[in-house]
Amino acid sequence: KWVPHKELPKFLNELKLLVLPSASEGLPNIVLEAMACGTPVLATPVGAIPDIIKDGETGFLLQSEDPKHVSEKIVVLLKESDLLEKVSKNAHRLVQEGFNEEESIKTWQGILKQLTTN
Helix (H, G, I), strand (E, B) or coil at 115: helix
Per the structure, the complete domain to which residue 11 belongs is given by 5-117
Helix (H, G, I), strand (E, B) or coil at 34: helix
pTM: predicted TM-score of the whole model, two decimal places: 0.82
Question: Model confidence at 5, in pLDDT bands (50, 70, 90)?
Answer: confident
The pLDDT assigned to 33 comes to: 93
Number of residues that make up the chain: 118
Please count the structural domains in the chain: 1
* Residue 12 or residue 74, greater confidence: 74
- d(Cα 17, Cα 33) in Å, to the nearest integer? 13
- d(Cα 110, Cα 51) in Å, to the nearest integer? 19
Question: Which CATH number do you get for residue 14?
Answer: 3.40.50.2000
Question: Model confidence at 74, in pLDDT bands (50, 70, 90)?
Answer: very high
Question: Model confidence at 62, in pLDDT bands (50, 70, 90)?
Answer: very high
